[in-house]
Chains A and B, each alone.
Chain A
């Protein structure tokens, strides 16, 4: 994640004193009870907004200008506090502006929250920076969402101004038209063939903030509505994919820490703020402050709130997503991603069908379990092929491939070229999921870098044992877990990534985490995982016996093939390179809808999402830019 400002902020604030000032971060986890009263729900939401802003404001010492950064200025402005100091500081900060979307959206936040408060000189300083300083657009969808929303809003704030007054060399009208066209195009893509950076643990903030700004401040009611609807869309997706507020896999993009500590990324800040069902991450998600500043302009609808909170019934949700854009060496620009989530009260199983949604940061599948307090808990089990390839990278980035790998560590992606990495997708992995059974098969050609399979076993597993049948058993929270490697392996301590303070790019130290890494150096390989709730069995031994008794045959030559009866009684045949067969019927992914499940439903290409919980229904129709709420009979 390219988040230098966030990174420096996090380092600066990661002190014991700072932690003490973040009540919900340090307090016991919030209760998982549904707040039925809408007024109380709103009050609690506003209280959480206030908590974040209070904390940020408490960090400011007016005598020390360094404490008054853009987030602090926005937090002060929204409270109408210390306006003169804010104005003076804006003038100072605008003398040395940054560049790119991570600079743009904070300035937009300050420009709008301060448009009637900041001094004319301060506002002029902001305007001047947008004339003189080139803003780099970036190269990812989240960059562009931030960049074009920021440019759009600034062009609306300063309409009818000539080309020479903008760094783009384009007039306000031209900037507005281009930004609007891109944002609509991006929304079209998301609502027809699926979200690109889907289910992101961290990057959710890079979408949520600009969409909130659009919903809050766009003058054009159509764009304001689009912002609002996109927020609903994103948060419905978040709600559906969380268990007790913690986002579950798979993820188009995540990073080395949240891939094992599933709570520890910005998505948890949004669950906390919107649903109140998990603690926020440190510093309220860093950039999350910018969301908090404008958050009173948006309230998550009740139907989404209830989807996030209700885990009484099991459900399967199938979604259609898409990969990041591929520039070369691919037959398609975006490859379709067929994603499955199976959510139960005690655990979640999620996957997509394999391959790379993103070349570096994808997490393809996992079983995760619920815990009373998710902080510090590595509640995930999965395997992957640690694929690293300059040739693959050049397909996604318009640059010489040799330049990329050496720079990735400094860009915040330290594990990409490490053989023991647990992050990332491989073109030689194919994944099948049916309810709480996952079969991941690997067929790695000779000569591929890092010809091995890695499996992740958390330090937080209980009763870990290797059975003579070949199954590995463990308990995670109230979930019983069974993991079957299909080829010989070794178990070694896993070393994670500790981020070190640095002013020159990211720096890391490899440190033991207490977790265990399975490493299997066999090119034809596979993993089977099955899970169950402890409520379903008399005891753990009964679960083990049930798993061992299940019919299972497999072979690795010529292609990995697994034939098994799952714990749920399904007859499954999975062969690498072929469509999986369930109860005699081959899976046809091409028939998948954009969303299909008890809560979210949308047809591919429809631009229309129906969100349902109980009798509540909200329809987001991007064709008509309408939001329709209904109470079903």
Chain B
């Protein structure tokens, strides 16, 4: 179900989009959320988009306002997973056809992620725990031993790229770690508010960063076993996302509701607010760094996509007007 851009709407929405750097394709999930509620008519194009060529966006799949997360099989980019209101969607043919792989017992997943070392293994963060598939979403199994019976709302889940089955999950009660493919979990950081994002450094796999709803930002330098709070990052403000710059080992950025964008260029020791060029209401929902160029992307809630060529010192609007970008995925461009 690959659809051409809507003739009358999308060009205006996306016209200013800058192309991804040569060597990478960018996939995003986007919701144009002006006044949409369940029951209203969707008058905009939402869902999964792929940027190709010179900044053009191609819509893939259903017009779905609820997609929160995208994962794509690194071995085969035709295999796409989406976490959305209805559950986990999967396409095996690059977005031409889709299937909801979950049933009514799993709803409103918040993140879907693959094990890079075993991409058939799919992890799903759901509001009432964690589910795992070992067969590309054909079947799902709850894997929650070690999680509290209550307190396992899972916002984010990330796999350690260096070890199959080693996974960190950000829950309402802290960060949980498994070394055995989610068969057993143990808490490695206790929080009293939800862990909103977790990321592994592309430069040092032992280094992880986490941000929380109102417990500040945290770092780990032993693969997630222990965590230290980052000084210089507000501890009581909602922090939604954190990102490493793959092109620069000392650069990291955090995005949040009140703070907008915070960046550090010394590995998290000091932090600077970088909102020049962002809307006044710089409620940053997602950040991403383009692996080839180091271009920093920010999704500002209800305002669209913004890009920065200088790691946040200046920002320019980059399309998706009035939208929320909820997920970024960069894939190496296929060889010509």
- List A residues at the B interface (Cβ < 8 Å): 2-5, 98-103, 132-134, 136-140, 143-144, 148, 163-164, 167-170, 178, 181-182, 185, 327-333, 394, 398, 400-403, 407, 410-412, 504-505
A402–B284 Cα gap in the complex (Å)? 12
Question: Is residue B297 within 8 Å, beta carbon to beta carbon, of the partner chain?
Answer: no
A540–B166 Cα gap in the complex (Å)? 75
- From known contacts A170-B99, A328-B153, infer whether A134 and B39 are also in contact, taking CB-CB under 8 Å: no
Across-interface contacts of A403 in B (CB, < 8 A):
301
Contact B104 A138 (CB under 8 A): no
Contact A169 B39 (CB under 8 A): no
Question: A2 is contacted by which of B33, B40, B99, B213 (Cβ under 8 Å)?
Answer: B40
Question: Is residue B164 within 8 Å, beta carbon to beta carbon, of the partner chain?
Answer: no
Across-interface contacts of A100 in B (CB, < 8 A):
38-39
Contact A181 B66 (CB under 8 A): no
Across-interface contacts of A163 in B (CB, < 8 A):
99
Known: A99-B41, A402-B257. 11 other contacts (CB 8 A): A103-B41, A134-B63, A136-B85, A140-B38, A169-B98, A182-B104, A185-B104, A327-B153, A331-B150, A398-B110, A504-B34
**Chain A residue with minimal CB distance to B301?**
A403
- From known contacts A134-B62, A328-B127, infer whether A139 and B38 are also in contact, taking CB-CB under 8 Å: yes
Contact A99 B98 (CB under 8 A): no
Across-interface contacts of A327 in B (CB, < 8 A):
127-128, 153
Across-interface contacts of B37 in A (CB, < 8 A):
2, 4, 410-412, 505
Question: Is residue B240 within 8 Å, beta carbon to beta carbon, of the partner chain?
Answer: yes
**What 0/1 readout, one digit per residue, does chain B (5-39) give for beta carbons within 8 Å of chain A?**
00000000000000000000000000001110111
**Chain B residue with minimal CB distance to A402?**
B257
Across-interface contacts of B97 in A (CB, < 8 A):
164, 169
Contact B41 A4 (CB under 8 A): yes
Contact A168 B65 (CB under 8 A): no
Tell me how far the C-beta of B83 lies from the nearest C-beta in chain A, rounded to whole angstroms: 11
Interface of A is mostly: loop
A407–B36 Cα gap in the complex (Å)? 10
Contact A136 B86 (CB under 8 A): yes
A335–B40 Cα gap in the complex (Å)? 30
Tell me how far the C-beta of A177 lies from the nearest C-beta in chain B, rounded to whole angstroms: 9
Question: Is residue B329 within 8 Å, beta carbon to beta carbon, of the partner chain?
Answer: no
A137–B65 Cα gap in the complex (Å)? 12
List 6 contacting pairs A-B, 8 Å CB cutoff, sorted by A. Answer: A2-B39, A98-B42, A132-B1, A137-B107, A328-B127, A403-B301
A5–B37 Cα gap in the complex (Å)? 11
**What 0/1 readout, one digit per residue, does chain B (289-315) give for beta carbons within 8 Å of chain A?**
000000000000100000000000000
Across-interface contacts of B40 in A (CB, < 8 A):
2, 4, 505
A205–B68 Cα gap in the complex (Å)? 31
Contact B85 A170 (CB under 8 A): no
**Chain B residue with minimal CB distance to A182?**
B104
Across-interface contacts of A410 in B (CB, < 8 A):
35, 37
Interface size bucket, B side?
35 or more
3 cross-chain pairs, A with B, having the tightest CB-CB distances, nearest first: A169-B99, A505-B35, A134-B62
**Chain B residue with minimal CB distance to A6?**
B39
Contact A400 B39 (CB under 8 A): no
Tell me how far the C-beta of A145 lies from the nearest C-beta in chain B, rounded to whole angstroms: 12
Tell me how far the C-beta of B329 lies from the nearest C-beta in chain A, rounded to whole angstroms: 20
Contact B63 A5 (CB under 8 A): no
**Chain A residue with minimal CB distance to B85?**
A136
Across-interface contacts of A333 in B (CB, < 8 A):
128
Question: B194 is contacted by which of A169, A394, A407, A411 (Cβ under 8 Å)?
Answer: A394
Tell me how far the C-beta of A285 lies from the nearest C-beta in chain B, rounded to whole angstroms: 15
Contact B35 A136 (CB under 8 A): no
A172–B97 Cα gap in the complex (Å)? 16
A333–B240 Cα gap in the complex (Å)? 25
Q: Which of B104-140 contact A (CB under 8 A)?
A: 104, 107-108, 110, 127-128
Across-interface contacts of A331 in B (CB, < 8 A):
150
Tell me how far the C-beta of B215 lies from the nearest C-beta in chain A, rounded to whole angstroms: 13
Question: Is residue B103 within 8 Å, beta carbon to beta carbon, of the partner chain?
Answer: yes
Contact B85 A5 (CB under 8 A): no
Across-interface contacts of A328 in B (CB, < 8 A):
127, 151, 153, 172, 194
Question: Is residue B188 within 8 Å, beta carbon to beta carbon, of the partner chain?
Answer: no
Question: A168 is contacted by which of B38, B63, B100 (Cβ under 8 Å)?
Answer: B100
Contact B39 A3 (CB under 8 A): yes
A505–B39 Cα gap in the complex (Å)? 11
Contact B39 A101 (CB under 8 A): yes
A185–B104 Cα gap in the complex (Å)? 10
Contact B38 A102 (CB under 8 A): yes
Contact A178 B104 (CB under 8 A): yes
**Chain A residue with minimal CB distance to B66?**
A136
Contact B42 A99 (CB under 8 A): yes
A312–B126 Cα gap in the complex (Å)? 51
Across-interface contacts of B238 in A (CB, < 8 A):
400-402
Contact A398 B35 (CB under 8 A): no
Across-interface contacts of A167 in B (CB, < 8 A):
62
Across-interface contacts of B59 in A (CB, < 8 A):
none
Question: Is residue B282 within 8 Å, beta carbon to beta carbon, of the partner chain?
Answer: no
Question: B103 is contacted by which of A140, A178, A504, A505 (Cβ under 8 Å)?
Answer: A178
Tell me how far the C-beta of A504 lies from the nearest C-beta in chain B, rounded to whole angstroms: 5
Across-interface contacts of B127 in A (CB, < 8 A):
327-328, 398
Contact B172 A139 (CB under 8 A): no
Question: A398 is contacted by which of B38, B104, B108 (Cβ under 8 Å)?
Answer: B108
- From known contacts A134-B62, A328-B127, A402-B257, infer whether A139 and B85 are also in contact, taking CB-CB under 8 Å: yes
Tell me how far the C-beta of A335 lies from the nearest C-beta in chain B, rounded to whole angstroms: 12
Contact A169 B240 (CB under 8 A): no
**What 0/1 readout, one digit per residue, does chain B (34-66) give for beta carbons within 8 Å of chain A?**
110111111000000000000000000011111
A34–B65 Cα gap in the complex (Å)? 50
A164–B283 Cα gap in the complex (Å)? 39
**Chain B residue with minimal CB distance to A504?**
B35
Contact A2 B38 (CB under 8 A): yes
